[in-house]
Amino acid sequence: GDTHRRRIRSMADTEHRFKYVFIPADESIPVEEREGIAVGSAGGDVLVDLLRPHFLRGGSLVDADAARKEAERHLGPEQAARLSPDRLVAATESGSTETFALVHPASTNGYRGVYLYTDECGKLKSLPENPRALELAQRCGIDVRHPFHGDAFVGAVKTSPPPMRNVSFTEHELDPGAPWMLVAPAENAVYAETFREFMSAVEGKATREELEHRRESRETEETDPGRRSRRTSEGEEIPPHGLRL
């Protein structure tokens, strides 16, 4: 009826299409430009969910020994030992999309971030390495510590004006001379330095708060005799509650 037609019309009004690129792990298969559709006005990166079925139907099973080692790395040997092999495999076998920033949104790039999307469990599934994805990340000035395993996708999001939303990333933007890629190393260097400064400030704030707490504790002891520690004739410290340390 009319209500259904209005709902369809409303969805069409808030629908937008965008391009993204498929980079197969198999280098004999050419890269492919694809189209995605985002529906609604809530925003967000729809590629994370859109690509999950691809990684789910990857066809490869998770290697139980690899899953165990990964669990030990994240949880520690004791916690990992409590998980049965079936639970370990089940926890890693579902399709899950991992995002890797090739360049973060910033005022210098019009708040357009470019991301690589991979199978989070690609290594555990013993999927082949993806040399083209690795080369792309290295071209962006990123020191990649581990190779990407399995198929990969490249997409873009824009964060300003809000809400965050997917925007097109086309095949020709994989060209080494693409404007975004030429400036990516410098932008990533700035981002890394800003992040280091932020972490240093966070650690510094924690240290300042700890020193402030100690100072307040000393002041409390000096102004509150009941809270002050006492010493025995042998010089042992007796805390306010009366028990010897």
Burial grade of 74 (CB within 10 A; 0-12, 13-18, 19 or more): exposed
Q: How far is CA 217 from CA 211, 220, 228, 244, in A?
A: 10, 5, 10, 19
Closest CA to 36 of 23, 28, 27, 45: 45
The pLDDT of residue 240: 44
Q: What's the average pLDDT block by block, 10 residues per block, for the chain (245 residues)?
A: 57 80 98 94 90 78 68 73 71 76 95 96 89 97 93 97 96 97 96 89 77 67 50 46 37
Q: Can you spell out the DSSP letters for 5-62?
A: HHHHHHHHHT-EEEEEEEE-SSTTSPPEEEEEEE-SSS---THHHHTHHHHHTT-PPP
Please give the single-letter amino acid code of residue 80: A
Entry pTM: 0.71
